[in-house]
Amino acid sequence: MKKTVVRITGFLLILLMVLAGINRVFKMKYGDGIYSLTKFYEQKKDSVDVLVLGSSHAFENINTGTLWDEYGMASYVLGGSRQPSWNTYYYLKEALKTQKPELIVLEGYMLLYDADYEESSRIIKNNFGLKWSKDKIESIKVSAPKSQWAEYFLEYTQYHTRYRELSREDFLKNQGYRYYDDWKGFGCNLDTVAEVGTDVKQVDEVSPLYGKTEEYYRKILDLAREENIPVLVTIAPYFLIDEKSEKMFNRVGEIAGEYGDLFLDGNKLVDEIGVDYQVDNADDVGHLNYLGNQKYTKYLGTYIKEHYTVSDRRADAAYESWQKNADYIREMIVNQELKESGDMEAICEKLQNPNYWVFISVDDSCNGKDQELQRFLGAAGLGDALQNGFPAGVWLTSQGKILNATGAGTAKIYIRKKPKEFCIQRMAGADGQMENQIICDRVSYRKVDSGVNVVVYDLMTEEIEDQFGIDVSDGCRIVR
């Protein structure tokens, strides 16, 4: 009898382990709602000093790296895509189970929301990341009509067909991205679309908030008051602001004042912040890009330092992950600036980044007549090779030093740098002419057929961050 019980118990334990593994692989891992909770649960107890809550206007505009670099603030952005106030309330309840922040920053864009329920994908993104508890059950119940509760309580029904969508990333820690290793919930928009904003500085009328939205906004402020945590309510600048919305934001500020909390409306402070939507607007609707989010976050951080007491953790070794997160965000921005560089001199300067491996393919069509091309290759590390004639072949350099090369003859060299595998080769083609190739994970990179091809691999991000060609048949034009 005892043996039977042991066997059954063992079988059930194994079954639970298998099901847990299957669930880990199949569950949705959206970075704009679910994964921010996954990584939040990994934070050490009572390590988050500034808890940022809200929608994408929080996690795409409030830069955790800037708050660390400039002020030493250990912040985490715990938000979700189009997150209504009731989900923000339950995110706050969940966060306070493991954290006691010195300040809560509530980005209030979704306090404009004027309906009882969001659409299905947002219900999933703003609930499925929560651990099972009474609070998660209540969050689902307030997020969806009663007739739909079952489909959200039984999460597996929402993602059991994902086997058609599964990719390598679903099986890997942090989805296989270094980006998530020390992530603090912030997503940095890198591309730019120029826009013209609306001036709402003179709008002082007040319009009411939607009933359910205001109810849970007040619950957030009540809960923070109960826990003796100050709240800074802020609105990030966005070019689509209009008078109707601004009147509602004025009401948001009034309610914050009722609780003794401060309100900072970025749409009325665009000039003071220095935001210019021609250069600071992201290519997705309503968010700031890497230039704009740094401006806004610096203004926000300075305001916090002037009005609240928040610890500076930069000298504390226990907060190393915040330093790594800031380093990674800065590296993303450096990589974007490289991609936006349009002349050889600026590119050469940026290629000196110590985190870069620079693969350079020089075709036989090149010659030593173009002095700008010579300067580029010399600065990239091929100066000595240029002394012996034009350096046909494929070269790997870092900080102006040659790490490997095919030479001018036939060669095929494999270079492994986890998680990537590179191959540089120089072989005779079907027409007998020598051909160069730069290959990463079986993908060949080439921008021009005649000239120089460059591939930039970043050792920090573990990604190919840029590739471009210099077309010698077209006046050494840079081709991206």
Portion of the chain with pLDDT greater than 90, in percent: 77
How sure is the predictor about 171, in pLDDT bands with cuts at 50, 70 and 90? low
**Superfamily, domain 28-334:** SGNH hydrolase (3.40.50.1110)
Average pLDDT, the chain: 91
Mean pLDDT over 383-389 rounds to: 79
The pLDDT of residue 292 is above 70: yes
Mean pLDDT over 399-413 rounds to: 95
Portion of the chain with pLDDT greater than 70, in percent: 89
pLDDT in tens, 266-287: 999 999 999 999 999 999 888 9
The pLDDT of residue 51 is above 80: yes
User: Is the separation of the CB atoms in 360 and 394 below 8 Å?
Assistant: yes
Mean pLDDT over 225-247 rounds to: 98
Confidence (pLDDT) at 21? 46
The pLDDT of residue 297 is above 80: yes
Confidence (pLDDT) at 19? 44
d(CA 405, CA 387): 16
d(CA 458, CA 187): 19
d(CA 63, CA 68): 9
Confidence (pLDDT) at 426? 97
Confidence (pLDDT) at 285? 80
**Do you know the residue count of the chain?**
480
- Tokens 């002394």 found at: 387
- Greater confidence (203 vs 432) lies with 203
Q: Does the predicted TM-score (pTM) go above 0.85?
A: yes
Confidence (pLDDT) at 302? 99
Mean pLDDT over 345-370 rounds to: 91
Mean pLDDT over 324-339 rounds to: 98
- CATH 3.40.50.1110 residue window(s) in the chain: 28-334
- Greater confidence (20 vs 353) lies with 353
- Is residue 2 classed exposed, middle or buried when 0-12, 13-18 and 19+ CB atoms within 10 A define those classes? exposed
Mean pLDDT over 211-235 rounds to: 99
What single-letter amino acid sits at 244? K
Mean pLDDT over 176-186 rounds to: 87
User: Is the separation of the CB atoms in 244 and 203 below 8 Å?
Assistant: no
The pLDDT of residue 405 is above 50: yes
How sure is the predictor about 457, in pLDDT bands with cuts at 50, 70 and 90? very high
Token pair for residue 151?
Answer: 């489909």
